Homo-oligomer: A and B are copies of this chain.
Amino acid sequence: MQTLNVALGDRAYPIHIGRSLLGRADLILPHLRTRRVAIVTNDTVGPLYLEALSTALAQAGVGVSAVSLPDGEAYKDWETLNRIFDMLLAERCERSTTLIALGGGVVGDMGGFAAACYQRGMPFIQVPTTLLAQVDSSVGGKTAINHPLGKNMIGAFYQPRLVLADIDTLATLPDRELSAGLAEVIKYGLIRDPEFLAWLEQNLERLVARDADALAYAIERSCRNKAEVVAADETEQGERALLNLGHTFGHAIETGLGYGEWLHGEAVAAGTMMAAELSRRLGWLGEAEVARVGALFERARLPVWGPLLGAERYLELMAHDKKVEAGRLRLVLLRELGRAVIHGDAQQTDIAAAIEARCR
């Protein structure tokens, strides 16, 4: 087991990464306020892993309640969130009860937001079971639900007290979900870690083949990058926005197609290609470098072309982005491979041209 620390002062917390961690109640107990937890999971993950986790906790003398949500981004809405509140109230959970999110990014985002809001805030633990959640969404305290007009529009910054990433849970992950997670892994290489990018270019097939050592390394390295950025800029006043490479374009794809059509990581991959293409048009990347990025995504079996929504529609959807400031779109672009920047001066025509060039 490896342990990283997210350095946030009196709200600092550990990330444990390793094998066979789900049954390790001893890792969870020190982070509970009382011996009472409420587990939020979904209908795919629950049947696989809920019993292992809840049995271990029950044997340690912890009272366990649980709720299972329907699986998928399409359910990341208020109605489904309310099922968590219904369970918490029906089971008489208190504000000292700890909410544990057991699942992927959607479960973590919704469980975290429910924990942030229930009785104005209850303790919260992330047990991510997808690659995407283990390398990205479970770390850093961003929680949210979607609004029909924009992804992750309603939410909170709310840090967990512990992230417990059991790599063994990736064994049951569908190929498509594994690939989606790799999009965020590749992202860290592109935005701030050229050495990791080089490692990925050499080892991507090992990750696709689920080589345990390669996965453990990639998860640990990704979490380290994420933890550093979050510690420096918790509420995204600056640097943290760089983690959104490809996300402004990607959110437009997700919202435009309807939540759940594309996986988040798939939209991020295609969106990153648009960001790379725009970076090329600004003279920052060469054609060969854009091709290198595309090759990496293709080796990860990710889409490198966006759906044909029309550039107008993309721009309309992107205007709701949280990084918009004084009406101006602020995009994460690549100054070079391994170094992202925030750019607020791109012309609408250039953005539209980059989108058109990367759709088909």
Contacts and interface: CB of A to CB of B under 8 A. Distances in A.
A320 B96 CA distance: 13
Contacts of A157: 120-121
A144 B120 CA distance: 8
Contacts of A119: 153, 155, 322
A85 B327 contact: no
A80 interface: no
Interface in A117-155: 117-121, 142, 144, 147, 149-150, 153-155
Interface stretch (A11-19, A86-94, A183-191, A203-211): A86-94
A295 interface: no
B90 A120 contact: no
Contacts of A235: 120-121
Tier of interface size on chain A: 35 or more
A144 B34 CA distance: 24
Nearest to A96: B325
A82 interface: yes
A212 interface: no
Contacts of A56: none
Interface in A142-187: 142, 144, 147, 149-150, 153-157
A181 to B, nearest CB: 23
A267 B25 CA distance: 44
Interface in A52-94: 78, 82, 85-86, 89-90, 92, 94
Q: How many copies does the complex hold?
A: 2
Given A96-B325, A326-B34, A156 B90 contact: no
A94 B121 CA distance: 25
Contacts of A231: none
Contacts of A96: 325-326
A95 interface: yes
A319 interface: yes
Interface in A320-359: 320, 322, 324-327
A90 B316 CA distance: 12
Given A117-B156, A119-B153, A120-B155, A324 B89 contact: no
Interface string A32-68: 0010000000000000000000000000000000000
Interface of A: 34, 78, 82, 85-86, 89-90, 92, 94-96, 116-121, 142, 144, 147, 149-150, 153-157, 235, 319-320, 322, 324-327
Given A118-B153, A119-B155, 19 more contacts: A78-B78, A78-B82, A85-B147, A85-B154, A90-B149, A92-B320, A92-B324, A92-B327, A94-B322, A94-B324, A94-B326, A95-B322, A96-B325, A96-B326, A117-B155, A117-B156, A118-B154, A120-B157, A121-B157
